[in-house]
Structures are given as structure tokens and as C-alpha cells.
Amino acid sequence: MRKLLGERTIYVDPSSHSCFTTIQAAIDSVPSNNKDWILISIKAGTYNEQVVIPGDKPFIHLKGEGMGRTNVVWEAHQYMLNTSTFGSIADNIVVSGITFMNSYNYPPNENKNPVKPAVAAMISGDKSAFYECSFLGYQDTLLDDKGRHYFKRCKIEGSTDFIFGSGQSIYEQCVISVNGGVANPDSISYIAANARSSENDSSGFVFKRCNVTGTGTTYLGRAWKSYSRVIYSNSFLSDNVIPQGWDAWDFVGQENRLTFAEYECNGSGSDKSNRVKWEKNLSPMEYLSFTSYAYIDTDGWIQKLPLNVLD
């Protein structure tokens, strides 16, 4: 981790009388329109609270003690803009070593609630990076809402459209875990539902060197909006990926506008011989334009983060 000039540390430890006992209280203590990186160091444990970084509190690094060790758990559903377990609205945010869970439908094999949209995290700020975090849910787990985002060595688990939104994001070396067929053995899952809405929209989800695995059968993605863009590159695709691969959803007849593509993937689910005929065949240079960091970082923001996420 890089120590930056002006950076200070705030500690969260429920067992200590000299630290903040909740993550939200620590965030609330950050001055509005802060301009220097502030590290919020969070002790291992389970925090049953809803956590929000508001738009006027940029330059925060939330640092837990590891996936499955520092856990934020909340149970809410339906109106996703204010019920997510974690909401990150500010620009210039880094989160590392934390698990975010929406327990309304999770874990699906132990939960009897009716299935509803239940968001574990909503990311709406620009220049946001997540390193070794996990996002656990069932329907609509991760709302990659808007802005440029980078996810490295994370785990995202769910069943229905569990990575969705209008974000412009690269997911690198992440585990994409499908938990379909658990709550409903006959259900078919959908991993990514990107909401790119026009030809000039820069939104898109790029899965680079990821591992797609899990239970049940799944599509790689479906079109939430008319110019949806989802790309898998050099990733492992397990046999739960259905042969067709992609679903045009409400945009049948407009498939030429969609950019759903795969490049040099492997695994039994990567056989493209029965893919939908309208899957895009991009050139190596086109793939490079999406998989290089320049797709999300033309101004060097990743290099300026307090954590070297590119290692």
C-alpha cells in the first residue's frame, strides 16, 4: 500500500473504546469535499449495517482484513437506489479486503424469502477500484451503476443479472460465481446485464482473465439496453454456460447494435460452435482497446491510487 502525502488513518473496531464502532460512523467523520486520501482501517468481524459513501466524501480507502474476515451484511430489497448493503456515490474511492452481502435472498439454499432484487453493492462514483472484495447476493447483486471502475481479484456471486448497470468497467482475475439452480432448479441465470443505451455511450463490462463457475445453467449476458456491451477475454468458462451464450432479451431484431463478444477463452463452456449467430467477432486490435487499462483510465487515475491494484 502506498503512503501518500497528507494521508491519515481512521480505525474501526467495535471492541475498542478509542475507535469508531461502525463503518458508517467513520465515514461520517470524513470532512465534506475532502481532498486528501483517508484510510479507514476496519477490524475483522461482521458489521450488520448499511454503509454509504456520499457524493461529497471522495478520496476514501476502506480497508478490511480480507474477504470473509471483514463482512458487511444488510437485508433489504426492491428499491435498489437506497437499499443496497453498500453504496459508493463519491469519486476516487478504493475498497479492499471486504465482503459485502445482501442477506435478503442469500444464501439461496438457506433462505425462504420470495426472490426480489436485493443489491449487495451499488457503485455510482467515477474512478473507483475494488481489490480482493466479494459481493454476495442472488438477484441483482452488484449494481455497477455509472462511472469508470476497476475490479481486481474480486468474487461476485449471484443468479439473475447479478452484474448490471451502466458502468464502464474492467473485471480482472475475478471469480464470477453463479448460484443458479439453488432456489429454483429450473431457473436459468444471467451473469451480466449492461445498460449501454446509445452508440456514443462508453459503458461496457469487460471480464479479463476471469473464472466463470458455479451451479445451474447461465447465459454470459443479456441486453438490458439497446447497445449493451459485454466482453470476455482470456477467461475460463465452465460447463454451466449454455451453448447459445447470449440473450438479446427485449431487443430481438436489433442484435446488430449489441456488442457481446469472447476472445481466447477456455474451458468447456467456451465452445462457440453453437453461439448465437449475432455474437460480435472483434479484431485483436478491437479487443485490445477494451482490455487495456486505457479503456477505463485515460488520465492516470489508477496509478494515483493509495493501493497498487495493478500488482
Known catalytic residue at 161: yes
Known catalytic residue at 140: yes
Instruction: Give the active site residue among 140, 144, 145, 247.
Output: 140
Name 269's bridge partners: none
Q: In the chain, where does DSSP find H-type helix?
A: 23-28, 80-83, 284-291
Instruction: Give the active site residue among 126, 144, 145, 161.
Output: 161
Measure the CA–CA gap between 289 and 56, rounded to whole angstroms: 32
Active site residues: 140, 161
